[in-house]
Structure 1
Amino acid sequence: MVTEKWAVAALRIFLVVLFGVLLVFQTLSLPGGIAYQTQQNPHDAPLRWPLTIIAVFLVLCVQVILVATWKLLTLVKKDRIFTPVSLKWVDVIVWAVGAAWLVFAFMLIFVVFNADDPGMPMVLFLVTVGITVIELLMLVMRALLRQATALRSDMEAVI
Structure 2
Amino acid sequence: MFERRAVALLKVCLVGLFGLLVLFQVMSLPGQFASMAREEPEMAYLRWPATFVTVFWVLCVQVVIVCTWRLLTLVQKDRIFSEVSLKWVNGILWAIGAGWAVLVGVLLYVGFNATDPGLPLVLTLMTAIVTVVGLLMVVLRALLRQATTLRSDMEAVI
> TM class by shorter-chain length?
over 0.9
Hey, what does 1:9 align to over in structure 2?
8
Question: 2: CA distance between counterparts of 1:29 and 1:108?
Answer: 22
Q: CA deviation at 1:22?
A: 0.2
> Structure 2 length normalisation: TM-score?
0.99
Q: Within 5 A, what are the aligned runs for 1:12-31?
A: 12-31=11-30
The code of the aligned residue for 2:58 comes to: V
Q: Which amino acid aligns with 2:18?
A: F
Aligned residues: 158
Match of 2:110 in 1: 111
Partner Cα separation in structure 1 for residue 65 and residue 111 of structure 2: 31
TM-align CA RMSD: 0.4
SS in 1 for 2:106: helix
Please tell me the residue identity of whatever aligns with 1:112.
G
- Distance in 1, matches of 2:87 and 2:103, equals 25
3-state SS in 1 of match to 2:93: helix
Distance in 2 between the 1:65 and 1:158 partners?
35
Q: Matched residues in 1 for 2:37 and 2:103: separation?
A: 21
Deviation of 1:150 (Å): 0.2
Q: Structure 1: which 5+ residue stretches go unaligned? A: none
Structure 2 match to 1:65: 64
Q: What letter is aligned with 2:121? A: M
SS in 2 for 1:107: helix
How far apart in 1 are the matches of 2:23 and 2:116? 32
- Identity, in percent, stands at 60
AA at the equivalent of 1:62: V
TM-aligned CA deviation for residue 38 of structure 1 = 1.0
State how 1:138-157 maps to structure 2 within 5 Å: 138-157=137-156
* Alignment-derived partner of residue 88 in structure 2: 89
Q: CA deviation at 1:69?
A: 0.3
1:31-70 correspondence runs (5 A)? 31-70=30-69
Amino acid at match of 2:34: A
CA distance in 1, matches of 2:117, 2:75: 45
- Separation (CA, whole Å) in 2 of partners of 1:147 and 1:97: 22
TM-score (norm 1): 0.99
Shift of 1:117: 1.1
